[in-house]
Structure 1
């Protein structure tokens, strides 16, 4: 995380430590899962006292919220800042969002988000707390789907809400985690095929 020059040294150190905490927490959750991750271990791995960790995050849930919101904000900012030409098809715009969602060569982000989304005692609160960010991402996808219908690219008889749900269900990195980890496919191979299936399936049929 690059810290603006005008910040005080103390503030820079605080932000740098917070970034390190988030990175270490990510590694611990990936190793042990959400339930078995402890604040004690995170503090020990960072090399700080547990009390110092609590100055940044009052509890484990707050730490995970911070990580999740940070990653969602990165995705949202990339989506909102990407150059979109007027002549681009709606499909091309949606494909660019898929590319942003999968822009994580290590696969760590996708794996961690998968763990958090599938933690029964956490995912509902997680989604509620980040509702605004998630809604803004969904709104952008929804707008492109509606645009595709209006342009005659997508089947107008399929409700947009179903298209939206299918988009995230089919094209989310977490949906294909097993293929990456167990079947040996690369992310590029999987997403090429999955996007082909999705966009062919929602395409408007010629009369």
Structure 2
């Protein structure tokens, strides 16, 4: 929002963000909701035609939001973790939820993946990497791309071409992809 106001001010329209927010305290939110819905429809129609319809690619991530309300501090909440997913085929959020705890992302991966549409491909970072979580995804026939942790033991299986992930005797084999930058020779 600040970026928008800076651009408007640079083009000659004198707008102050605090004046805008004060004015909107007494305005109906309905026109803003209608504008958002209309823009969302336009984006969905254009993006959906361009992307392949076989899989909906859905990045999943979390972010920590510091709470400034002392009312929540009394309850012991100084921050929340916002989990969100964006369906790139439609251009709209697939799922969002807030956790007041300090739990790791992988504990919420199943919830995020279960709310994705059919044939969606969940794309997650290392925070969601957990061997139990990966096993769940495979058992449920979910499509996913997950960046695994650097310290996981990997063992190549020649018969299948898959990689055993983990150090236990019952470690499961998955398709693991790694790549390197040939110029810097960094994996």
| Structure of higher RCO (CA pairs closer than 8 Å, 6+ residues apart) | 1
TM-score greater than 0.5 by the shorter chain: no
Question: Larger helix proportion, structure 1 or 2?
Answer: 1
Larger Rg belongs to:
2
Structure having the larger proportion of residues in strand: 2
Given the two structures, how large is their TM-score scaled by the length of structure 2? 0.29
TM-score in terms of structure 1 length: 0.27
